[in-house]
Structure 1
Amino acid sequence: MIVPDISQNAVAVADHYDELDPIYRRVWGEHVHHGLWATGRETPTEAVEALVDTVGDRLGLVPGEACVDIGCGYGSTARRLAETRGVRVDGFTLSAEQAHYASAHPVAAVDIHLGDWLVNGLPDASADAAWAIESSEHMVDKPRFFAEAHRVLSPGGRLVVCAWLAETDASGWKVRHLLEPICREGRLPSMGTRQEYEAMALAAGFSITGYEDVSRRVARTWTICARRLVKVLLVDRDARRLALGARNRVFVLSIPRLILAYRTGAMRYGILTLSKATENGALGDPGTTRHQDPI
């Protein structure tokens, strides 16, 4: 597990997203996660929605199911899956600014909660499916992240985790100059490897039904973000003042690190699909997931 040399916690994560809210929405958009390219001809918006739709497919969502969006951001993923799959969604975010934005864009089947997933308060076995798109990285206690998901899911429930992952056995220079600074600058309490994530999921009681490394298909997200950020800084004085004067301005440095981390293989992007056993011990239906080794 890669751990930053300056400890991060939920308060720091919330402060990061609250303070940089205007920058995030202009540079990353309201989904605040990577895009997934299949042909390379997709627009950034199409690629971002493709990742959401992939999660919905891996979960095998059925209309009427109760779902949880763990680390829902602005609620855009929850809204899209509620509208396209007919599910009901409870979303959790640490950021008051993100929760405020979500409340200003309501969808009847989506409820957004301002709070920490690690103390979510949902009843046992109350959800059919859950997903965490690039939010597990911000969890201080990752084993508890998985344990809470297992507790909240009903027997046969499914979980998909899209995660920034560290290269297995990353060399010292990659850790020192890429992975550790990315954790520190992005307010990640830790970054795990695929093997560490799978071990934590198994310890929580899940079965692993699929894994895919899609690093090559998401990496261009950061060159797009870099171009957008440069444009914003050049044309918008208020955004420039915020980006250069914010407490969390150091995150700007992470964009070139992330580009290099993907190009060198120091960082991977994995989609992990998990199932909770049914009452008779069988696995839930994971939809169309498959297992692939990293590419």
Structure 2
Amino acid sequence: MIVPNISQNAVAVADHYDELDPIYRRVWGDHVHHGLWATGRETPEEAVEALVDTVGDRLGLTPGQACVDIGCGYGSTARRLAVTRGIRATGFTLSAGQARYAVAHPVAGVDVLVCDWLANGLADASVKAAWAIESSEHMVDKPLFFAEAHRVLAPGGRFVICAWLAGTDASSWQVRHLLEPICREGRLPSMGTREEYEAMATAAGFAVTGYEDVSRRVARTWLICAARLVKAVLVDRETRRLAFGGRNRNSFLGIPRLILAYRTGAMRYGIFTLAKVKPA
């Protein structure tokens, strides 16, 4: 597990997203996660929605199911799946700024709460499906992240995780100059490998039913974000203020590191499909 040399916690994660809220929506858009390209001809918006639809397919969602979006950001994934699959979803975010945006863009069947997933308060076996798109990285206690998902899922329920992962064979140079700084600058308390994620999932009681490495299909996200950020800095005063004078300004250093981390294989992007096995 890669751990940053400056400890990150839930307060730091919330502050990061609250302060940089205007930049995130300008640079990343409402979904705040990678796009998934199949042909390379998709627009960034189409690629982002393709990742959401891939998660919905792996979950096997059916109308009326109660679901949870762990680390829901602006609630856009939950809204899309509510509209396209007919599910009901409760989203959890640490960011009050993200929750305000979600409330201002309501969709029937979707609720967004400002609440730490590690203390979510949901009843045992109360939901049929759960997903976490690029939020597990922000969890201070990753074994508890898995354990809580297992607890709230009903038997037979599925859990899909899209995660930034450390390459299994990352060199000491890659850890020191790419992965550790990415964790520190991105407010990630830790970054695990595929093998560590699967071990934590199994320890929590899940069966690992699928895994796909889609690193090559998502990596261009960062070139797009870099271009958007440069443009925003040039034309928008608030972006310049946050990028050069904000508390979280060092976060922007992570973009070139992320581009290089993907190109060198130091970092991977994986989609896990887990199942809570029904008792015999």
TM-score > 0.5, shorter chain as reference: yes
Instruction: Report what 1:13 is aligned to.
Output: 13
Question: Deviation of residue 238 (structure 1)?
Answer: 2.0
CA shift digits 1:252-285 (9 cap, x unpaired):
10000000000000000000000001133xxxxx
Question: What aligned pairs does 1:223-234 form with structure 2 within 5 A after superposition?
Answer: 223-234=223-234
Instruction: Report what 2:128 is aligned to.
Output: 128
Question: Deviation of residue 239 (structure 1)?
Answer: 1.4
CA shift digits 1:222-250 (9 cap, x unpaired):
00000000000001122111211100000
Q: Which one-letter code corresponds to 1:140 in the other structure?
A: V
Instruction: Report what 2:106 is aligned to.
Output: 106
Instruction: Report what 1:255 is aligned to.
Output: 255
Instruction: Report what 1:291 is aligned to.
Output: none
CA shift digits 1:75-99 (9 cap, x unpaired):
0000000000000000000000000
Q: Secondary structure at 1:5's aligned position in 2? A: coil
Q: Which one-letter code corresponds to 1:213 in the other structure?
A: D
Q: Secondary structure at 1:58's aligned position in 2? A: helix
Question: Deviation of residue 107 (structure 1)?
Answer: 0.9
Q: Secondary structure at 1:162's aligned position in 2? A: strand
Length-normalised TM-score, structure 1: 0.94
Q: Provide the C-alpha distance between the structure 2 equivalents of 1:190 and 1:237, rounded to a whole number of angstroms.
A: 33
Question: Deviation of residue 4 (structure 1)?
Answer: 0.1
Instruction: Report what 2:269 is aligned to.
Output: 269
CA shift digits 1:53-110 (9 cap, x unpaired):
0000000001010000000000000000000000000000000000000000011100
Q: Provide the C-alpha distance between the structure 1 equivalents of 2:261 and 2:245, rounded to a whole number of angstroms.
A: 26
Q: Which one-letter code corresponds to 2:254 in the other structure?
A: S
Q: Which one-letter code corresponds to 1:39 in the other structure?
A: T
Q: Secondary structure at 1:261's aligned position in 2? A: helix
Q: Provide the C-alpha distance between the structure 2 equivalents of 1:197 and 1:257, rounded to a whole number of angstroms.
A: 23
Q: Provide the C-alpha distance between the structure 1 equivalents of 2:181 and 2:155, rounded to a whole number of angstroms.
A: 39
Q: Secondary structure at 2:270's aligned position in 1? A: strand
Q: Secondary structure at 2:34's aligned position in 1? A: coil
Q: Provide the C-alpha distance between the structure 1 equivalents of 2:177 and 2:80, rounded to a whole number of angstroms.
A: 37
> Structure 1: which 5+ runs fail to align?
281-295
Q: Which one-letter code corresponds to 2:242 in the other structure?
A: L
Q: Provide the C-alpha distance between the structure 2 equivalents of 1:95 and 1:55, rounded to a whole number of angstroms.
A: 23
Instruction: Report what 2:72 is aligned to.
Output: 72
Question: What aligned pairs does 1:277-292 form with structure 2 within 5 A after superposition?
Answer: 277-280=277-280
Q: Provide the C-alpha distance between the structure 2 equivalents of 1:242 and 1:196, rounded to a whole number of angstroms.
A: 35
Q: Secondary structure at 2:256's aligned position in 1? A: helix
Quote the RMSD (CA, aligned, Å): 0.5
Q: Provide the C-alpha distance between the structure 2 equivalents of 1:16 and 1:100, rounded to a whole number of angstroms.
A: 16
Instruction: Report what 1:238 is aligned to.
Output: 238
1:52 and 2:26 matched: no
Instruction: Report what 1:117 is aligned to.
Output: 117
Runs of 4+ with >2 A deviation: none
Q: Secondary structure at 2:277's aligned position in 1? A: coil
Q: Which one-letter code corresponds to 2:62 in the other structure?
A: V
Q: Which one-letter code corresponds to 1:15 in the other structure?
A: D
Q: Provide the C-alpha distance between the structure 2 equivalents of 1:191 and 1:73, rounded to a whole number of angstroms.
A: 19
Q: Secondary structure at 1:156's aligned position in 2? A: strand
Instruction: Report what 2:149 is aligned to.
Output: 149
Name which of structure 1's ranges 236-245 and 25-34 shifts more when overlaid on structure 2.
236-245
Q: Provide the C-alpha distance between the structure 1 equivalents of 2:121 and 2:19, rounded to a whole number of angstroms.
A: 27
Identity of aligned residues (%): 82
Instruction: Report what 2:195 is aligned to.
Output: 195
Q: Secondary structure at 1:137's aligned position in 2? A: helix
Q: Which one-letter code corresponds to 2:107 in the other structure?
A: V
Q: Which one-letter code corresponds to 2:227 in the other structure?
A: R
